[in-house]
Amino acid sequence: MAKKEEKESKIVLERVYNVPLRKKYRNAPNWKRTKRAVTALREFIQKHMKSKDVKIGKYANLDLWKHGIKNPPHHIKVNCIKYDDGIVRAEIIGAPQEKPKEEPKKAEKDEIKVKDALGGNEEKTEKLEEKEVKEEKSEKAKDIQKEEIKELKKEESTLHKHAPKQAAAPKKVEQRPTAPMQKG
């Protein structure tokens, strides 16, 4: 539902920022530096885009974390887009635009199956038959593998029963002579 809202909302403001992060994360201990850099980025965008609702994009986040928690980048260049509903999206410059994949709804899938059963499309029925054949082959292969594993286990157990076990050799401990007692 959030994606539908994004499509309906209009872009109010779009800007590119080179956000300095070093001053903020230098005040944090090593094991919190990238976390502090993410909060610094969020605060910078809130301040400059005048919005409390900031979403950091996938690729911007990956760029911040690419060298681990102890080594964030000194600055990051982001493209910030503010929508009319107040949401600000920040994504790194040059990141690919992700398009949502359109999948047929469940009702549409059921209709396709009904048409195929009635002989509506020969191509689709052939595709479904091919899928069923592949599934059957994979199931048979799995069954064969399971049987082979069982046979190997049986062979191993019979091998161990017939082979005599070697007795453990007693450990040799070097005995040292005791020091003579001093009289006196």
What's the pLDDT score for residue 45?
97
8 A C-beta contact, residue 12 and residue 83 = yes
Place of tokens 């593998």: 145
8 A C-beta contact, residue 28 and residue 50 = no
Per the model's pLDDT, the better-predicted residue between 1 and 151 turns out to be 151
Provide the pLDDT confidence category of residue 156 given band limits of 50, 70 and 90.
Answer: confident
Provide the pLDDT confidence category of residue 173 given band limits of 50, 70 and 90.
Answer: confident
Residues 83-121 as b/e (b if ≥16 CB within 10 A, e otherwise) read beeebbbbbbeeeeeeeeeeeeeeeeeeeeeeebeeeee
In terms of Cα–Cα distance, which of 37, 44, 84 is closest to 64? 37
State the Cα–Cα distance between residues 117 and 61, nearest whole angstrom. 48
Distance of alpha carbon 124 from its chain centroid, rounded?
Answer: 34
Position 35 pLDDT exceeds 60: yes
Tokens of residue 100, six digits? 């949502």
**Average pLDDT over all residues of the chain:** 82
